[in-house]
């Protein structure tokens, strides 16, 4: 039996708005689909919260012993600037603005996104599914549901939401009023009907277009996720994730397509999970607003990206999380304390692994498991990891083993991260680390010889280079480069 089977895993299902026991569709397996980025721009750190959450979910499923198959898609076609099917394709628009090919735009921003994934220690999913690879499959899928569930207008093929049972349950929206804010394209039967194929208007040429039974054009955004999740995971699969905005339109539309294609009332995934937003003082972060925070900005300021991961884990994924630089720096301080504890533990442990048998550790593991099983309560799990580091008189080898196990869920790279990597060190700083360390040694020497004039002169010299010394720092982190 798996060591971490003590508690049943409970997850909040947005469909029922309740905590539910995770019961896999296929025994011993967990199949998860995560709505990925639209690669027309850099992801902001709010977007990355969605993937830290999906990663925590995947890691928890692995901790519970399930064989995980995780799919994250890359949207490189179909996502419009407007939910109302009247806007432009986000990628077409950006390509026109930059006078570049869509393929180059998509490649550039996909790579930038993958860099952030790596920097945040997010595990690679089994599949990165790229929307444009699936266009023929999307056309086949649309053909399969067109007769019974769709109708054609001049602008495209539309899904009639009244042809499926309980459209909009996920959003808690009635077909007529809740979704009424979606502008009606002329001729739509219901306000919430949506395009599954968008015809290229006569006389226009899009960079990305394909032939279809409904004319040359491009797929609607919602179609891709239904097609790729079914193709890669089979219907029904276990869990579908995304940001909370998807609960309102994108996911209800996916559900409608899944129902139509599977000829059943089943939503396609057993559990639908949504992370809440990262907000700043002005409200929800958004890419479209022009100004947004990228992970790279944090890195440029010398703040290790893992401190952002920790900041996310300190909040429950269903709560809003406010971004401030102070919150981020506080998370960094906490991370440093933890890493110092781990350094001491590694020094003490003679061997790297030893099975965990000590009752105090078994109890801690059981509590950690309970926290995660309570809808991924990482904020409750973190203090248990700190408790583990503070435990005295318990085998260091066993503590180290449990620490690595806990970190396999939290993903903070605690046993591999170097203390020096957690130093605040802006990229623009032109300071040589060995030189700083050498000067610190000289200063230490001067102080021990009570030559305070020399010690002060060295300090002033370092300050002039932007190096902030932290004498008497309780963390014993001797220096940082000022931001
Ligand atoms: P997009 O690239 O716009 O399709 O968004 C990628 C993911 O980020 C989606 O799951 C969104 O729901 C999610 N998301 C967007 N803004 C935020 C935010 N401020 N905080 C957390 N998640 C967000
Ligand atoms: Zn999606």
Q: What percent of the chain has pLDDT over 70?
A: 90
Pocket probe mutation, ligand 1, options 32, 46, 47, 254, max atoms within 8 Å of Cβ: 47
Using the Cα atoms of residue 219, residue 221, residue 223 and residue 224 in order, give the sign of their dihedral: positive
Long-range CB contacts (< 8 A, 24+ apart) of 413-419?
A: 413/121, 413/306, 414/338, 414/339, 414/342, 415/342, 415/346, 417/304, 417/306, 417/339, 419/336, 419/339, 419/340, 419/343, 419/477
DSSP 305-347: HHHHHHHHHTS-TTS-EE--HHHHHHHHHHHHHHHHHHHHHHH
Q: In what order do the strands lie in the sheet with 150-153?
A: 150-153, 156-159, 194-199, 217-219
- Ligand with the closest atom to the CA of 228: 2
Spatial contact of 34 and 239, defined as CB atoms under 8 Å apart:
no
Pocket probe mutation, ligand 1, options 51, 245, 250, max atoms within 8 Å of Cβ: 245
Q: Reduced to 3 states, what is the DSSP secondary structure of residue 140?
A: helix
Which has the closest alpha carbon to 221: 146, 290, 156? 156
Neighbours of 171 (CB within 10 A): 20
Spatial contact of 160 and 147, defined as CB atoms under 8 Å apart:
no
Residue whose token pair is 């639908």? 272
Phi, psi of 159 (to 5 degrees): -90, 130
Six-digit token string for 126: 């089994």
Using the Cα atoms of residue 421, residue 426, residue 430 and residue 431 in order, give the sign of their dihedral: negative
Q: Reduced to 3 states, what is the DSSP secondary structure of residue 121?
A: coil
Q: Are strands 467-469 and 321-322 parallel, antiparallel or unpaired?
A: unpaired
Spatial contact of 13 and 272, defined as CB atoms under 8 Å apart:
yes
Determine the atom of ligand 1 nearest the C-alpha atom of 47.
Answer: 8
Ligand 1 contact, 35 CB (< 6 A): yes
Ligand 1 contact, 47 CB (< 6 A): yes
pLDDT tens, residue by residue, 62-103: 999 999 999 999 998 867 777 767 777 787 788 788 888 888
- Ligand with the closest atom to the CA of 45: 1
Instruction: Work out the mean pLDDT of the chain and round it to a whole number.
Output: 89
**Which whole-number Å values give the CA distances from 201 to 114, 198, 457, in the listed order?**
34, 9, 72
Cα dihedral: 141, 144, 148, 151 (round 10): 60
Six-digit token string for 78: 């179909």
CA of 38 to the centre of ligand 2 (A): 10
CA of 426 to the centre of ligand 2 (A): 36
- Ligand with the closest atom to the CA of 321: 1
According to DSSP, the residues that pair with 130 across neighbouring strands are 74
Spatial contact of 434 and 386, defined as CB atoms under 8 Å apart:
no
CA of 222 to the centre of ligand 2 (A): 6
Six-digit token string for 41: 């721009």
Six-digit token string for 347: 């020094």
CA of 253 to the centre of ligand 2 (A): 10
Question: 132 pLDDT exceeds 90?
Answer: yes
Mean pLDDT, residues 443-461 taken together: 91
CA of 226 to the centre of ligand 2 (A): 8
Ligand 1 contact, 78 CB (< 6 A): no
342 vs 470, more confident: 342
Cα 418 to Cα 180: distance, rounded to the nearest angstrom: 53
Query: With bands split at pLDDT 50, 70 and 90, how would you rate the model's confidence at 178?
Result: very low
Neighbours of 243 (CB within 10 A): 20
Determine the atom of ligand 1 nearest the C-alpha atom of 36.
Answer: 6
CA of 156 to the centre of ligand 2 (A): 20
Pocket probe mutation, ligand 1, options 243, 284, 317, max atoms within 8 Å of Cβ: 243
Ligand 1 contact, 241 CB (< 6 A): no
pLDDT tens, residue by residue, 26-57: 999 999 999 999 998 899 999 999 999 999 99
Cα 478 to Cα 419: distance, rounded to the nearest angstrom: 11
CA of 324 to the centre of ligand 1 (A): 18
- Ligand with the closest atom to the CA of 319: 1
Look at residue 176 in the predicted model and tell me its pLDDT: 44
Residue whose token pair is 């408790």? 387
Biggest CA–CA distance in the chain, Å, is 89
CA of 242 to the centre of ligand 2 (A): 7
In 251-300, at which residue ranges do the beta strands (DSSP E only) sit? 269-275, 278-280, 283-284
Question: 375 pLDDT exceeds 70?
Answer: yes
CA of 398 to the centre of ligand 1 (A): 39
pLDDT tens, residue by residue, 232-254: 999 999 999 999 999 999 999 99
- Ligand with the closest atom to the CA of 220: 2
Is the omega angle on the peptide bond into residue 115 within 30 degrees of 0, that is, cis? no
Look at residue 278 in the predicted model and tell me its pLDDT: 95
Ligand 1 contact, 240 CB (< 6 A): no
Torsion-angle region of 197 (φ positive above 0: left; ψ -120 to 50: alpha; else: beta): beta
Six-digit token string for 66: 């399930």
Q: Reduced to 3 states, what is the DSSP secondary structure of residue 261?
A: helix
Phi, psi of 313 (to 5 degrees): -70, -20
Question: 426 pLDDT exceeds 60?
Answer: yes
Query: With bands split at pLDDT 50, 70 and 90, how would you rate the model's confidence at 435?
Result: confident
Spatial contact of 102 and 208, defined as CB atoms under 8 Å apart:
yes
């Amino acid at each position: 039996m798996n060591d971490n089977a003590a508690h049943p895993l409970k997850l909040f299902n947005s469909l029922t708005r309740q905590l539910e026991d995770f019961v896999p569709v296929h025994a011993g397996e967990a199949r998860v689909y995560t709505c990925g980025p639209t690669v027309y721009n850099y992801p902001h750190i709010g977007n990355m919260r969605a993937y830290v959450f999906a990663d925590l979910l995947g890691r928890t499923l692995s901790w519970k012993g399930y064989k995980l198959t995780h799919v994250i898609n890359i949207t490189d076609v179909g996502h419009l600037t407007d939910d109302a099917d009247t806007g432009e394709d986000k990628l077409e628009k950006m390509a026109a603005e930059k006078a570049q090919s869509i393929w180059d735009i998509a490649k550039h921003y996909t790579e930038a996104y993958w860099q952030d994934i790596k920097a945040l220690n997010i595990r690679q999913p089994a599949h990165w599914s790229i929307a444009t690879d699936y266009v023929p499959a999307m056309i086949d899928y649309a053909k399969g549901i067109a007769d019974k569930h769709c109708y054609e207008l001049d602008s495209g093929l539309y899904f009639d939401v009244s042809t499926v049972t309980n459209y909009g349950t996920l959003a808690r929206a009635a077909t007529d009023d809740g979704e009424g804010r979606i502008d009606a394209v002329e001729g739509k039967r219901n306000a919430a009907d949506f395009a599954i194929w968008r015809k290229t208007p006569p006389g226009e040429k899009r960079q990305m277009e394909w032939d279809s039974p409904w004319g040359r054009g491009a797929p609607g955004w919602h179609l891709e996720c239904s097609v790729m999740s079914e193709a890669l995971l089979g219907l029904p699969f276990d869990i579908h994730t995304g940001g909370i905005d998807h609960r309102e339109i994108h996911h209800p539309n996916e559900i409608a397509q899944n129902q139509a294609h599977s000829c059943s009332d089943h939503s396609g995934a057993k559990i639908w999970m949504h992370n809440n937003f990262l907000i700043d003082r002005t409200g929800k972060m958004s890419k479209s607003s022009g100004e947004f925070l990228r992970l790279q900005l944090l890195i440029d300021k010398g703040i290790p990206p893992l401190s952002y991961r920790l900041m996310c884990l300190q909040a429950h994924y269903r709560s809003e999380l406010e971004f401030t630089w102070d919150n981020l720096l506080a998370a960094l301080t906490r991370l440093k304390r933890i890493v110092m504890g781990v350094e001491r533990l590694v020094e003490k442990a003679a061997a790297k692994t030893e099975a965990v048998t000590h009752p105090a550790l078994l109890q801690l593991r059981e509590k950690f498991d309970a926290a995660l099983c309570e809808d991924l309560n990482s904020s409750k799990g973190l203090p248990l990891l700190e408790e583990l580091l503070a435990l005295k008189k318990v085998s260091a080898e066993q503590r180290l083993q449990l620490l690595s196990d806990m970190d396999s869920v939290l993903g903070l790279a605690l046993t591999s991260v170097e203390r020096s990597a957690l130093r605040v060190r802006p990229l623009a700083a032109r300071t040589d680390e060995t030189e700083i360390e050498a000067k610190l040694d000289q200063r230490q020497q001067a102080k021990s010889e009570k030559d305070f004039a020399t010690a002060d002169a060295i300090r002033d010299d370092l300050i002039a280079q932007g190096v902030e010394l932290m004498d008497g720092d309780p963390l014993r982190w001797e220096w940082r480069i000022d931001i």
